[in-house]
Structure 1
């Protein structure tokens, strides 16, 4: 449900500073304790030092709407009073709920995003009968909730967020980093807008800077007027701390509204924000600390509880009337599961993938989604009954399908309604024109590979090296990437930042239609994919990597820089005139700095 202003809403629930005892009776997942006294210490790492901007912002003031939620407050207070009178807590609700939202107002998305430890209660709805249960968890979060709030905006909007890292000081703050491809600085972070075509430098979609505990920085950028509308998402991308933050539920959806939302059949459909996460917990409901002496990736975390909640609840219930059409915005925010999503006795009518509208609706029985993928799907409810939304969860291997998991339960009930599916969609060619007939300026061939030592993953034999760049691209070029998977039987999803790509070939066979994506799985045992990318608009350092989070963290990532060597000599800025002493300022917003002579290639 779209809110009226830039405040956080959650279908009638209040998101503000509330006492832990007042919330104990509300067994609703994703109800964040924003007022929780989370530990936050100043930075001070020797090699990763962020500069604090002063006092930490009050996210309760910035993100709680005290005007529109008066009735909800009264209702909640009355309910709490009744529970206290009877002495019986409320039953946990398995009903699906959209996450809270921060909504653009007057062309500006304004608010606060705070990273902090918080208590949450996960509602667990059993798939084969039995009572609904709950699990109390304590993890790193955005704004105290799992998942984080949905950010809703439009093309041409400005993003102006205060980003506050309120996590405790890193335990290894004073220890030099010996292996960048192993967990380290677990409470440092940054902010990646996955799927966005915006500046990758400065305070924008900058994944190379480091935001340390105790630091407040702006997240600020202009969204282009021709930005593709659709479902995107955000998460941290600080190398060495990404996996542990994913395991705690640190991700959220970004909705860019546009022409697709104006199609009558789409506009009439109720929207569900369905963020499929993977929580990796110990018996105490916390993400375990990594075993830094582990010899393999599988031994890094002693996880005893693995959950796959959908927008914070395990197997939530979605209700529809026969004939009703709903729009499900699906996000695979798991660490490693290449999903194959199915809904019993129902087709999936796909209208967009990775935030890019299809030329025509594609009706399928099952939908493959790699980690990082998004899909906008229309569901038209059939006959009354109960239906399961499910997918195998885990890394698929040839002949070794992972166990299927129920993601949500659809209950079709009540009087039938008359709703239709769209016969036409707005083509995205004005944003991403077809490149299949173009001649690339550069062709790069890369290979996903296992390292020579256990627990090491590489691209073309080279693990991630933060001290150099693997590729230098020229702004304005058309670039082909030929990716081969030589890392065994499992598929590896390829992702590159800032610019989407058109998938031209899979395993040597042309794709028809050649759709635009920003994540594509490369099958194992020598599977290959060829994609074409337009290096449009922006300069700066970006990343490409496997989107299996463990592989990325342990080295299967490369750094590239987009430069523009055509700018006048007078506009070029020498490297020795750029101050990079503070990691919070890495990848600076200095356009004249991004010329070839300022960057060293690896090897």
Structure 2
């Protein structure tokens, strides 16, 4: 593989314009270049990192998905606040091999501007026609799963609007960069492994960490220059703990939602599915810095990741005027839910068997026929959920259709800074479960709102359910 080439953003999907977006994605098995090496996997467009989809609030996005795979597939538009029913963001849709279906996403005019992503959400489905979903007969060439298809290449960034427009005037024309983080395990024949034919994906195996399908690219900035970096963990299973040596990140958006208060951390934890929009300002003198994912453990029974270089920041050229640092609130941050009336309190327990192969929510594995909750949520209300984790590894909890507010983690109250659609529920320590409390606003859409651990292997093996939302 060839490290050290100039950084480039993922290609944009051919959408015509952002107000009337029409895209065709052909999911297929193919070979593509990964860090200059020929690799075999799954692709939407002939690349390991799928093209970036861009749309505006108030627009309609039409996506024709053509399934050339030998297994079933579908699409999930992670983080978008759109309908979970019909030909929209419905993970129960199933596109059989050789079939085609068309998604139509009505993006609300007040939709948050920020970074989202899209990926297969096949869930081990077996189907004979688009629009059907059947958990029976999950054998043979008709089946596919989330981990297989994301791991093999079926994921990419999705950007709504342009959150630079929410920044002070001096920052509205800065350069943007999209950094899609994915890892690849490649066997001796150049193939990305799949959970078939007696093989299995092991997320703790050595893996190649990539940025936009590039191996340790060089990203250039001028001295004093400020850029907006859109960071996306679009991988199947593993965490990234980002650090840019000698720098801090100014967080202006998390999980596609503008923040109520900027922060300037030195590291950012991105479990699978996580996104951050951050401002980075180069030093005033030429030099280099390393963007790395630092050594990280997601629990004694989870994965152990080594410190790994992702990219090099090269600061060179004629210095530019240093723009004022931005601190404060983004103008379209969601409302604080700390004083909201709570319509219902619910408990979720995340657990797994002793060998870490089967996963549960409230003691149950995923069923398309029944939610773990006996009662539905009501549209227009706010609920408080307490999520506990009895396992020896962290579980990143994700809710479809809306972002939520984290109230506390392991009993530590959290001040209101942002909304998010993924939160890491800490592993148990000395038999004491990890504990996260969140508040969820149920607005705009009825239907089945899915939730699950976003380690794809865990959701594939049971740690997933949904809540019915009714008027």
Which TM-score bucket, shorter chain as reference?
Answer: 0.7 to 0.9
Partner of residue 256, structure 1: 160
SS at match of 1:227: coil
Instruction: Report how far residue 259 of structure 1 moved.
Output: 5.4
Partner of residue 10, structure 1: none
Taking the aligned partners of 1:262 and 1:357, their CA distance within structure 2 comes to: 9
Taking the aligned partners of 1:354 and 1:410, their CA distance within structure 2 comes to: 24
Partner of residue 460, structure 1: 362
- Runs of 4+ with >4 A deviation: 291-294, 299-305, 398-401
Q: Is the 8 A contact 1:328 1:376 kept in 2?
A: yes
Of the candidates 508, 512, 522, which is equivalent to residue 411 of structure 2? Answer: 508
SS at match of 1:308: strand
TM, length-normalised to structure 1:
0.69
TM, length-normalised to structure 2:
0.88
Matched, 1:272 2:177: yes
Of the candidates 561, 565, 571, which is equivalent to residue 468 of structure 2? Answer: 561
Name the structure with the higher strand share.
2
Partner of residue 426, structure 1: 330
Instruction: Report how far residue 371 of structure 1 moved.
Output: 1.3
Matched, 1:232 2:116: yes
Instruction: Report how far residue 336 of structure 1 moved.
Output: 2.8
SS at match of 2:210: coil
Change in CA separation of 1:349 and 1:289 when aligned onto 2, cut-off 3 Å: closer
Partner of residue 499, structure 1: 402
Instruction: Report how far residue 92 of structure 1 moved.
Output: 8.3
Of 372-381 and 97-106, the range deviating more from structure 2: 97-106
Deviations along 1:356-401, whole A, 9 cap, x unmatched? 1112331111112221110011111113212110113664236996
Q: Is the 8 A contact 1:281 1:303 kept in 2?
A: no
Of the candidates 191, 211, 214, which is equivalent to residue 286 of structure 1? Answer: 191
Partner of residue 145, structure 1: 47
Matched, 1:381 2:282: yes
Matched, 1:94 2:1: no
Of the candidates 327, 350, 353, which is equivalent to residue 448 of structure 1? Answer: 350
Once superposed, what is the RMSD of the aligned Cα atoms?
Answer: 2.3
SS at match of 1:97: coil
Higher Cα radius of gyration: 1
Query: Unaligned 5+ residue runs, structure 1?
Result: 1-26, 28-90, 124-133, 169-186, 565-603
Change in CA separation of 1:107 and 1:117 when aligned onto 2, cut-off 3 Å: same
Taking the aligned partners of 1:256 and 1:498, their CA distance within structure 2 comes to: 15
The number of equivalent residue pairs is 440
Partner of residue 30, structure 2: 118
Partner of residue 17, structure 2: 105
Deviations along 1:72-96, whole A, 9 cap, x unmatched? xxxxxxxxxxxxxxxxxxx987111
Change in CA separation of 1:291 and 1:141 when aligned onto 2, cut-off 3 Å: closer
Partner of residue 196, structure 1: 80
Q: Is the 8 A contact 2:183 2:209 kept in 1?
A: yes
After TM superposition, list the pairs within 5 Å mapping 1:141-540 onto structure 2. 141-168=43-70, 187-240=71-124, 241-258=145-162, 260-263=164-167, 264-291=169-196, 300=201, 306-382=207-283, 383-392=285-294, 395-397=297-299, 402-420=305-323, 421-429=325-333, 432-451=334-353, 455-471=357-373, 472-488=376-392, 490-525=393-428, 526-540=433-447
Instruction: Report how far residue 118 of structure 1 moved.
Output: 2.1
